[in-house]
Amino acid sequence: MAEISIGSTWLKEHFKLLNFRLSHKSFLGIRSKVEIQQDGTVIEFYQMNYALREDSPLNHFEFSLKYDDIQPDFFKSVLSAISVDEIVAYIESAPTGKYSRKIGFWYEFLMGQKLPVEDRQNVSYVDLLDSKLYFTGKNIKNFRWRINDNLLGNNNFCPIIKNIEQGK
C-alpha cells in the first residue's frame, strides 16, 4: 500500500509549498508507527480509521491542528491559499466546534483580517495550544472565538516552542 499523506503533509503537497520544512509529517498506513529521522523530523503513520471523510484543505488543516506541529508561517501560507468564502462556510458548518473556532482564530491572527462571521457565543473557552506539548504564555481571553490565546507572542513575533519532554 502506498503512503497516503494527511494533514500538513497533504497541505504542503496540495498547495506546492516546497519551501517549508515540516517537523511532523503524517501519513495513513496499515498500522500506527512513529519514525524519527536524523534531522529530528517525526514521520507518523496513522491507521486508516483516521482517514478524512472529505479530502478538502480545511479538513486537512483541522487534522494538522490535532496531530501535527503548530507552524504559523506554514499555516499562513495555507490559509492564504484558501478562499475566505470556503473558510467561512467551514466555520459556519460547526459554529461552536473547537477546531472551527481555532481555524477562525488562526486566520484572523495570521492574516490580520476579520472574517465575516458573528462572534461565537454560549460556548466554553478552549486553549489554543496544548500546554502539555508546547511552552505557553498567559491565557488571554479571545471573546470573539472563545479561545484562550496562550501564545508566547503576538502576530508580529510569536515563537512556538515544543516541549520535547512531553511531545511525541
pLDDT in tens, 105-125: 999 999 999 999 999 999 999
Domain residue spans of the chain: 83-168
Residue 164's pLDDT band (boundaries 50, 70, 90)? confident
Report pLDDT digits (tens) over 81-111: 999 999 999 999 999 999 999 999 999 999 9
What CA–CA distance (Å, rounded) separates 109 from 153?
Answer: 11
What is the model's pLDDT at position 37?
95
Per the CB < 8 A criterion, the answer to whether 94 and 153 are in contact is: no
The helix or strand, by DSSP H or E, that contains position 44, with its residue range, turns out to be strand 42-47
Query: What confidence score (pLDDT) does residue 1 get?
Result: 55
The answer to whether the CB of 65 falls within 8 A of the CB of 99 is: yes
77 closest CA partner among 64, 92, 90: 64
Nearest C-alpha neighbor of 65 from the set 143, 130, 136, 140: 130
**39's grid cell:** 534531522
Say how far apart CA 89 and CA 46 lie, in whole Å. 28
What integer is the mean pLDDT of 45-66? 96
Model pTM score: 0.94
